[in-house]
Structure 1
Amino acid sequence: MLSVALPRMLLSAVPGATLAAVLAVSVAVCVAVCVALPSSPPLRHRLLRAALLRAAGWQRRRLELQSTDVRHGQERRLRRLLPHGAAPGSDAFREHRPPSPGCADGEGAEPLPPLSVRAALRSCWSAEPPLQGALLHLHALHAAFPQALTLRGTALLGWAPAAPRAPGLCPLPTLYCTPPEAAALPSRSAALRVQLLFALRARALRVLEARLPNELHDALAALRDGWAELARELELGTLSPQPGLPEETRGRLRALLVPDGARAAEVRAECGRGFEGIVRRLWPQLQVVVVGTVRGGERLYCDALRRAACEGLPLYCPWYRVAGALLGVNLWPKEPTPRFVLCPEWAFCEFLPCPAEEQEEQRTVLLGELWEGREYTLILTARPGEYRCRAGEVLRVAGFHKQCPVVEPVRRESQALSVRGESIPEERFCRSLCRAVGMWPGARLVDYICVESTLLGASSGAGAPHYEVFVELRGLRDLSEGQRHKLDHCLQEDFPIYKSFRFKGSIGPLRLHLVGAGAFARLRDAMGCPVPMPRVLREERLLPVIQGTVIS
């Protein structure tokens, strides 16, 4: 019988330029064996995993080589993005094309495409950013957590209504124990609950994965509120009717369930003990929680997960993606703060130092000209026809991987509050809000969103422009007037410009609203597509959703 070790033996004996050809041969062998042994899922999985890991190792070596010559890598990428006959070189490109106002919205971009063995075969010679990024993720995950790639050892929590067969973040579909059809339900809350039920069936999970931290946060909230019903469904091997779950789909998913009284009893026992560290207690073999992004407003959920439900587990974010373009990869899954290597051949990147210097046209710096510890605004050329787009993203250079900058996302410029040009960044507003909540005995911040009074129109009432803030708290059911004023006072202390406008009366007092439990989950359902949580609401159609949940 052909062993999975055959590709490894072939590859370990051949160095240098012929490695790509031997990789192709080993992948072809895996394809043949997978076709010949359709009734052996474990062996098929092992062969696919071996082939993809070899291709992933090749892509890691390619990245290391690219990291030694960043400037030429950026020039090569720019030539691929420019039309034929365009002025060559980054200097001429920057001289003849002024920066454009902003990138196309890519926050709701679909997950990276699944990797097949044939895709790995193509990657032996070349790889576009999505393919190389998927393989580098696979390599980093396996290197840090060798048991993470177990057959059906990963549970996916994520909503993809427009892509019924969309995979998760990992490029090996046989990893997942959750049915792909569950992700495509018309209702976000129904999709997350069904996926949670299938995840609870698999006690031996190695990886818990969510495309967005807010999806994992809401799924665990559904577990906290409905664990008794979920345990009953596990015990009976059934799936209860619920809004957003079509009856035909429910029948197909229910056919995949079998009664499991022992697991149901375990879920009841662990949930009955409370929800601190519940993830590790429900899945004792779990090694890592993988999330698709940690940018901007998603950090609040990541911090809450680390403190409570996912206590003791690393949260790994594999990629840095802006406006739908893949820019960097996280090579260090075990580190608590996600850092991303900006890959020189994935997009052409320019940077403006922050704060901007006092000159009309500040010249951008390139990928190989950044300074450690400084913050920069990103200008991006990632697609043909979209040149020098202001990405609205500020990042900090945390170090270097050879010549490649290693960056940490800092803030999204689109999420700054401003009714008089004062511009309060999202991460600094969040710090002020957390400081105010800390002054309210027993309160803990669960979620929040801000609205500028210009969006509210007549419903904001008379008076100067102001902010309205909607918060969900745990530990408080009402807010006194004194507590409501604390946030405005904190903002005045933290932002002198805001204090000046408040003193002059050109900005009115902040209005704080307390919403009921689950209000933000309903708001995310109403958004219609999975996106990182905005902290400044810009869509008027969503206003009634959040306003309708106010309890105080």
Structure 2
Amino acid sequence: MPTIEEELGRRSLLYSLLMPVMSQFVPGLDKGKGMYFLFIKSEAKTPSGLVARPVLTSYYKSTHFKDRPYDPYTNYTSPNETILCPDSYQSMYSQMLCGLCQHKEVLRVGAVFASGFIRAIKFLEKHWRLLCNDIRTGTIDSQITDQSVREAVMKILKPDPKLADFIEAECSKDSWQGIITRLWPNTKYVDVIVTGTMSQYIPTLDYYTNGLPLVCTMYASSECYFGVNLNPLCKPSEVSYTLIPTMAYFEFLPVQRNNGVNSSISVPKTLNEKEQQELVDLVDVKLGQEYELVVTTYSGLYRYRVGDVLRVAGFKNNAPQFNFICRKNVVLCIDSDKTDEVELQNAVKNAVNHFLPFDATLAEYTSYADTTTIPGHYVLYWELSLNGTTPIPPSVFEDCCLTIEESLNSVYRQGRVCDKSIGPLEIKIVEPGTFDKLMDYAISLGASINQYKTPRCVKFAPIVELLNSRAVSSFFSPKCPKWFPGHKQWINMN
């Protein structure tokens, strides 16, 4: 996405609105710190020499973030050096260590995405012994080799055997339920994105936080930043965002359900002439109507389809407020990745070429974003037609897994290779007739037999259980797919 220096200032202004809004609902936030797990990602250069990097990396590396004036509302436990460390392990370790050292000062915790915060908890679950040793002795583990990180952490880290004993006692217990409120007892809320596909992580967050409020403070993407949540303590299912009209010029394309919000046809980012005539201005949207968001930005995007579907939830005075409904065409998402139906179809098509020597074909398939594992991973359910007599060896299915991963976009592959935010892709082979059973089940719930088509992604728990009950074998990608920092990439934040 194109951006300009001026845009960073505009986005910084939106960040400055968040805590004044929060302080209306949660008093005393200026009396402590926020423990946020923030990270940069790899960057590259375009052929013309421009820097290409994720939007948050651009912000964290800017003077707007690095040289921000002291503000008690944006006082973090993580020093800038730990956030700007390019090594994901060293960054996570040092941020967690600083957060533990200042555990009594922490009033709020968070990350950008819910998945990222859960990943931090799992990191603590795996490395708490090393962290306790550092706190007990006042030294930093030898695996942290970044000198600037070590120097920044040593300004915070002091020998504290009592704190180490406390952390060890809590982390040694059989259950990690409520571990956030146990280790950081003054925490008032969790600040993460839990709308859209991130809602799948809500039960896990509730478990680890003892039901602390889950707060979605803002709505933003790589294209531009949009607005804020003026009622941040509402339930995640009720979150609505008030768009700030000075962030961009916003227009809205009415969405008709029969046009298929989840259509398998890839939607272009530009509007045709008919769609341009249908556009509605911000002041003309109707309560309860769903719209696709279209933006014209200061950075050069003109009537660009963001790909988000919003519903008008109400008004703040005369300003409309929107629920985020879904991403158009996206079927799978674990972290910042977004895989649509067409991309998945092409990846599967590439993979089934491995079956040619065995006279086998793929009869049907669907997919599922499994977030019960940390990190989460894609699961594909395959029903095969076996015409040959030669059995297909496990290595072929593993090759299929890897081929699919190689065929997916660079954001997915970066999550697998660099960020470790996505686990190895899994293929489950199901019994013959499984997809007939799936159709029968859908029809029993009221689907039309004439209009039924196999869903390319499933989320409904009984359907996932049906598929899992008929799985006869399971295979995982044997290694990470290829990924190079030189590939152009971007991240949408919702």
Secondary structure, in 3 states, of the residue corresponding to 1:214?
helix
Q: What runs of 5+ residues in structure 1 fail to find an aligned partner? A: 1-103, 114-127, 418-425, 431-446, 504-509, 535-552
Are 2:158 and 1:263 equivalent residues in the alignment?
no
Residue among 169, 181, 187 paired with 1:280: 181
AA at the equivalent of 2:124: L
Once the two structures are TM-superposed, the CA of residue 404 in structure 1 deviates from its matched residue by: 0.8
Pick which of 295-304 and 273-282 moved more. Answer: 295-304
Instruction: Supply the distance in 1 between the matched residues of 2:251 and 2:197 (Cα, whole angstroms).
Output: 24
- Aligned position for 1:463: 362
Aligned: 1:314 with 2:213? yes
Structure 1 residue 478: Cα displacement = 12
Superposition pairs of residues 528-547 of structure 1, within 5 angstroms: 531=491
Q: 1:376 to 1:497 in 2, by over 3 A?
A: farther
Contact 2:285 2:320 in 1 (8 A): yes
**Aligned partner letter, 1:333:** P
Cα 1:248–1:449 change in 2 (3 A) is same
1:176-228 residue CA offsets vs partner (Å, 9 max, x unmatched): 22111111222223312221111011122112131222221110011122222
SS at match of 1:394: strand
Q: Radius of gyration: which is bigger? A: 1
Aligned match of 1:159: 39
Q: Report how far residue 464 of structure 1 moved.
A: 5.5
Q: Residue 220 of structure 1 aligns to a residue in which SS?
A: helix
User: What TM-score do the two structures reach when normalised by structure 2?
Assistant: 0.63
CA RMSD of aligned residues (A): 4.4
d(CA) in 1 for partners of 2:214, 2:111: 10
1:328 matched to 2:227? The reply is yes
1:462-501 equivalences in 2 (<5 Å): 462-463=361-362, 466-469=365-368, 471=370, 473=372, 481=430, 485=434, 489=438, 493=442, 500-501=452-453
**Compared CA separation, residues 371 and 230, structure 1 to 2 (3 A):** same
Alignment coverage as a number of residue pairs = 370
Q: What residue identity is the alignment partner of 1:324?
A: E
Q: Which secondary structure does the structure 2 equivalent of 1:211 belong to?
A: strand
Q: 1:248: how far off?
A: 2.5
| Partner residue in 2 for 1:14 | none
> Is residue 361 of structure 1 aligned with residue 274 of structure 2?
yes
Does the alignment pair 1:415 with 2:330?
yes
2: CA distance, partners of 1:474 / 1:416:
19
- Tell me by how many angstroms 1:135 deviates: 2.8
Taking a change above 3 Å as real, the CA distance of residues 472 and 502 of structure 1, as seen in their structure-2 partners, is closer
Q: How does 1:56-67 map to 2 (within 5 A)?
A: none
Distance 2:119 2:450 in 1: 34
Q: Does 1:301 align with 2:201?
A: yes
Report how far residue 448 of structure 1 moved: 11
Conserved in 2, the CA contact under 8 Å of 1:289 and 1:315? yes
Length-normalised TM-score, structure 1 = 0.57
SS of 2:119 mapped into structure 1 = helix
1:222 paired with 2:123, answer yes
Aligned counterparts of 2:186 and 2:163: Cα–Cα separation in 1: 15
Which residue identity is paired with 2:287?
A: E
Displacement of 1:313: 1.3
More helix by share: 1
Please give the secondary structure, in 1, of the residue aligned with 2:35: strand
The answer to whether the Cα contact below 8 Å between 2:196 and 2:326 also exists between their aligned partners in 1 is: yes
Does 2:133 match 1:241? no
- Equivalent residue for 2:88? 188
Cα drift, residue 304 of structure 1 = 2.2
Question: CA, structure 1 residues 302+182, in 2 after alignment: closer, same or farther (shift >3 Å)?
Answer: farther
Q: In the alignment, what sits opposite 1:394?
A: 309
Structure 2, unaligned runs of 5 or more: 42-56, 260-271, 356-360, 375-425, 456-466
Query: Which residue is 1:454 aligned to?
Result: 346
The residue type paired with residue 224 of structure 1 is E
Q: CA, structure 1 residues 497+279, in 2 after alignment: closer, same or farther (shift >3 Å)?
A: farther
After superposition, the Cα gap between the structure-2 partners of 1:164 and 1:385, relative to the gap in structure 1 and judged at 3 Å, is closer
Instruction: Check conservation: 2:11, 2:225, Cα contact below 8 A.
Output: yes
Q: Deviations over 1:239-283 (max 9, x none)?
A: 2233xx434245424523211111111112222332111111111
